[in-house]
Amino acid sequence: MYKALSLDGWETHGISHLIADTNVVPFDTPNHFRLGYMLDHGTLDTGHISPEVALRHRLRHSAAHVMADAVLGLFPEAKMAIGPPTQDGFYYDFDVSRPFTPEDLEQIEAIMVQRIAAGHPFRMEEIEREDAKALFSDQPYKLEIIEGLDEAEPITVYRHDEFVDLCQGPHVDSTGDIAAVKLLTVAGAYWRGDEHRPMLQRIYGTAFESREALDAHLARLEEAEKRDHRTLGRQLGLYSIHDEIGPGLIVWHPKGGLVRTLIEDYWRDLHKRWNYDSVYSPHIGRGSLWQTSGHLDFFRENMYGSLDVDEQEYFLKPMNCPFHIMIYRSSLRSYRELPLRYGELGTVYRYERSGVLHGLMRVRGFTQDDAHIFCRPDQVEDEIGGVLDLTFELLKAFGFSEYSIMVSTRPEKAVGDDDMWEHATASLRRSLEQRGLSFGIDEGGGAFYGPKIDINITDALGRAWQCTTVQFDFNLPQRFELNYQDDEGNRVQPYMVHRAILGSVERFFGVLLEHYSGAFPLWLAPVQAVIIPIADRHLEYAEKVSKTLATAGIRVDVDVRSDRMNQKIRNAQMQKVPYMLVVGDKEAEADSVSVRHRDEGDLGPMPVGKFTYRIAGEAVVPGAMPPSESTG
């Protein structure tokens, strides 16, 4: 089966994360992924990455070239597009007359093994632009890349044996250094992520420094496939997407809606504890608002078309920021009022190409856990510290305790006062240092409007997911002429901080679903216990137990179907229900339940009161008070 993907879709697990970390910019990288700079041909800025990551980057980049060599051997008419390494492997896009088959991949991999065994050295050459055009005269995608390069940018190619590719590297010394390689899947990919451009065939593969490392990775891939949130979402009845409604638009089913409500309720309660004010904003705004904010000038391609209301343009909101700014502007602010912290679970709408849509991870309508902080210069560091403390408390509650953190600093082109940039950047760094948190520096990697902190969380499979962003903004306060009156009566521009901890509720839900493989912790489980009556005559007792548990705040179902008991238990296990309570004649007489846990198995009989106290204690929402003994 072939699926359409766009180059834009590799936001977190793809080339952008790796290129940013390694400062490598191969010519065969899409333009919008060209985030870093190579220090020298064939060398890496290893100050930002571990030697293992640098080695794997070179191995995978080299393996992509060997794969392209093998493809051209089998399909001489193939047109090559791009073939970059990724965080977990590599891919190469080809324009061929028919889709690749599994049998093709076997043949391609066999040829790759031969090329690797031959130990062909990789050689880099710098060539003139016209020579490059002549060299790739029969490769239209390479010619397009060449035409898009700056006139002053040197053009390099890498060769091994008789194969040559447009590339800046780096690579391993020879094909023989690629110790273990495996081709994985084939997918469709639009050239340059544009559905109006040709659909190419993308071959995915991976390479490692040893067979053992490759085997471990393949085992993780197999486990990741089992945890795919799209499959789990369907199996567990959590959400769905319908063509009749539109791609990228999520419909939440009762169980999924309940889990989402629990996530959002915890978010609201935590933010209330941290002294955030909850606000709400409309889903559309007048065109002039988005003109002032700059979205119509710089973000319009990601916005939906205008709505004509009373002969004026309105737009679905792509962001919440301007609405929070208008709340701030609704009255004259004094320095005594600051800081102001506005938080909103605000749904926004952004156009995404159909090829990049991916379950809950990439959608067209999503809810951001948005907040904006307006503060004085002397409050900046404390506010950033507060955001970090809130962030780690929230992420820990959802089971995430491993992070990678990056501070991105001022780019060459930026807006805002130099002193404000320096103060904001220093505050980000000091707040992290004071908490003993290790972090990297992405010099020049900040947005044009302010420095930021990005926090990636690590899931149960060791995968990194970009989650939290803490972003200063020196642009919008200028555009909207924000100010407050200081202690001397002067009008002063406040510092403004955007921050989202979950990122989007939809994407975080997808990450959470895969992290737990659908087996949510008890406090998040949509059904915490299911009561399984052995026969119809036990239904009355089952309902009695259900009322007892429900009164204690437990989410409980009674399986009233006519299936056999073992089938009901199996169904509850498949639905990832934490507790299964079997009731029959013995249990009804003893006012007890036979308890089975989804992970621990049979726990034996237990009085209803004792079980109620047990599950109520385990189901406590993080930060809430546990139940008292009287519950039982």
The catalytic residue positions are 321, 350, 368, 370, 372, 452, 498
- The pair phi, psi for residue 125, each rounded to 5°, is -135, 140
Q: What is the Cα–Cα distance from 56 to 58, expressed in whole angstroms?
A: 5
Please give the single-letter amino acid code of residue 84: P
Work out the angle at residue 170's Cα, subtended by the Cα atoms of residues 46 and 444, and round it to the nearest 5 degrees.
Answer: 50
Helix (H) or strand (E) holding 454: strand 452-458
- Residues 6 or more apart from 568 whose CB is under 8 A from it? 530, 532, 559, 561
Count of Cβ atoms closer than 10 Å to residue 387 Cβ? 21
Selection from 13, 28, 33 nearest residue 171 by Cα? 28
Please give the structure tokens belonging to residue 522: 């008890």
Q: What is the Cα–Cα distance from 343 to 348, expressed in whole angstroms?
A: 14
Cβ pair 482, 331 in contact under 8 A = no
Which H, E and C letters describe 551-563, residue by residue? HCCCCEEECCCCC
Q: What is the Cα–Cα distance from 519 to 514, expressed in whole angstroms?
A: 9
Q: What is the Cα–Cα distance from 348 to 357, expressed in whole angstroms?
A: 16
Please give the structure tokens belonging to residue 628: 């008292």
Q: What is the Cα–Cα distance from 16 to 492, expressed in whole angstroms?
A: 38
Omega prior to 339 cis, within 30 of 0? yes
Specify burial of residue 377 (Cβ count, 10 A radius: 0-12, 13-18, 19+): middle
Determine the longest span between alpha carbons in the chain, in angstroms.
91
Please give the structure tokens belonging to residue 274: 């941290």
Please give the structure tokens belonging to residue 490: 């002067």
Cβ pair 60, 67 in contact under 8 A = no
Q: What is the Cα–Cα distance from 79 to 97, expressed in whole angstroms?
A: 10
Please give the single-letter amino acid code of residue 149: L
Q: What is the Cα–Cα distance from 624 to 223, expressed in whole angstroms?
A: 34
Selection from 410, 406, 412, 411 nearest residue 429 by Cα? 406
Length of the chain: 632
| Angle, helices 608-618/539-551, rounded to nearest 10 degrees | 40
Q: What is the Cα–Cα distance from 177 to 56, expressed in whole angstroms?
A: 11
- The pair phi, psi for residue 347, each rounded to 5°, is -80, 130
